[in-house]
Amino acid sequence: MADQTLTDRGSDSAAGGPALPSTFWQYVRSLGPGIVMVLTWLGGGNVVQSGVAGANYGYALMWIVVIALMMRFVFVSIIAKYQLCNERGEGVLDGLARLHPWYAPFLALTALTLGHIYNSYMLAGIGETCVNLSRVGYGWQWATFWAVVALAMIFRPTFRRIELLFKGLLALMAVSLLGTAIWAGPSMTGIVRGIVSFELPPRAGGFDALLVVIAMIGALGGSIANLIYPYFLEQKGWRGPQYRRVQMYDFLLAIIVMIVFTLALWTLGAELLYAKGDQIKNLGDLTNLLGTALGGAGTLLFYLGVFSVLFTSVVGQSMGLAWMATHGYLRWRQGPGELRSNYTVHPLYKLGILWIVLSPLVWTLPGMPDFVTLTLVANSLQVVLIPVLVGGVWWITASSRYIGAEYRNRWWENAAMVALFAVALWAAWGSVESVTRVVREMF
């Protein structure tokens, strides 16, 4: 099966892909990269930002969910279009490297850096969650255990195995997060008002509204994590414009899942905590306050969902970012043309995995910043990268020189990218100001 074999454009680009679906159930069975991608995106950022925003501001900031997910839908759809439809059959990173050769080492270094940062708060959250679930041990011990488990799974990755794991954990998350949200009782009036109000209320709790908004853009709108999706498409065996339709359905499912889970997490904060005036400063605050409102069974259900969200993100982001780092390094060293090495099984991939999975464990030690602070700061910092990535992707998809005349951006896609680039610049500026203020308060 094509989706069971790790291949590389540079070494096996002629390999045949899986059969195209033609019926509804064939489409359902073929979906996979989007599920892996959405559970990679749905990490600690979503748990914390949605919980903090709901608990501290009610439904007032929910409009940012719409903006952030619209940004992600447009951005990632255009990324996927380049991956599948460019006339050279190259990857997105290869196209960016042709735009400017420094994109390759920049993305390689950024993948390793952000892989460390992402997993710093993911593993810290896993540690806190397991301690609260088991009442045994310390956070750093649990974080180390699950880091080793993740390492064993992805040191020699098989995409089909990862896909099946993620589908199973998706079912667990659906029961957990949707179950607790329904238990809390969402307010449809509050949701609609929050979406259309575009309100930016005064600071409440430990984090001002602007920092929460910017972090939401980082967690939902994403930055470099969006460039992982093409690697999952490739490992599925989807190569060429004939897979564009099934890829769009695949990604639409991912966005729907993101919307549902984000609203579920937001509802918990808004309905159970905001009305009581409770505020969140760390993961313990979130789960303890939910425990008071939901009881022991509800808290257990919530913890299982949080663990699934965090662990799938550790696995997916570690694997995807290690591929990106290796791909970027090889492209930089070998220059343009066909890659002579398969980046998915190259020794540098294994070194990247070791760094991305194990180095963040230092942040789980006693005395380090708490999970919520790490998450908000990390997701705000990554927003600074969005203009660089949006600008590059916009260029290679708008120019027939890179993607080809047939699939270059239409006017409405270019208009959407202009708006996305403007929002990215605003968010990047606000990110620098907000993170600087938080860091000053920490020290």
Tokens linked to 441:
């308060």
Question: Residue 345 has what pLDDT?
Answer: 84
Distance CA 236, CA 136 (A): 39
**Start-to-end C-alpha separation, the chain:** 53
Q: Is the pLDDT of residue 164 over 70?
A: yes
Q: Is the pLDDT of residue 193 over 70?
A: yes
Task: Give tens-digit pLDDT for 321-344.
Answer: 999 999 999 999 988 888 877 888
3 state SS of 399: coil
Mean pLDDT of the region 403-430: 84
Q: Is the pLDDT of residue 279 over 60?
A: no
Mean pLDDT of the region 360-383: 67
Mean pLDDT of the region 73-82: 91
Determine which of 51-55, 85-89, 361-365, 380-384 has the lowest per-residue pLDDT on average: 380-384
Q: Is the pLDDT of residue 1 over 80?
A: no
| Mean pLDDT taken over the chain | 80
Name residue 205's amino acid.
G
3 state SS of 320: helix
Tokens linked to 393:
């992707």
Question: Residue 286 has what pLDDT?
Answer: 60
The proportion of the chain whose per-residue pLDDT surpasses 90, expressed as a percent, equals 28
Determine which of 80-84, 122-126, 240-244, 435-439 has the lowest per-residue pLDDT on average: 435-439
Q: In the chain, what are the domains?
A: 2-442 (1.20.1740.10)
* Residue that is written with structure tokens 């043309």 in the block: 337
Q: Which of 260, 213, 251 is nearest to 233 (CA)?
A: 251
Question: Residue 169 has what pLDDT?
Answer: 85
Going from the C-alpha of 362 to that of each of 120, 357, 358, 378, 387, the distances in angstroms are: 8, 11, 8, 15, 30
Whole-structure pTM value: 0.82
Determine which of 136-145, 201-210, 316-325 has the lowest per-residue pLDDT on average: 201-210
Question: Residue 407 has what pLDDT?
Answer: 93
Report angle CA 59, 60, 64 to the nearest 5 degrees: 95
CA 224: distance to chain centroid? 9
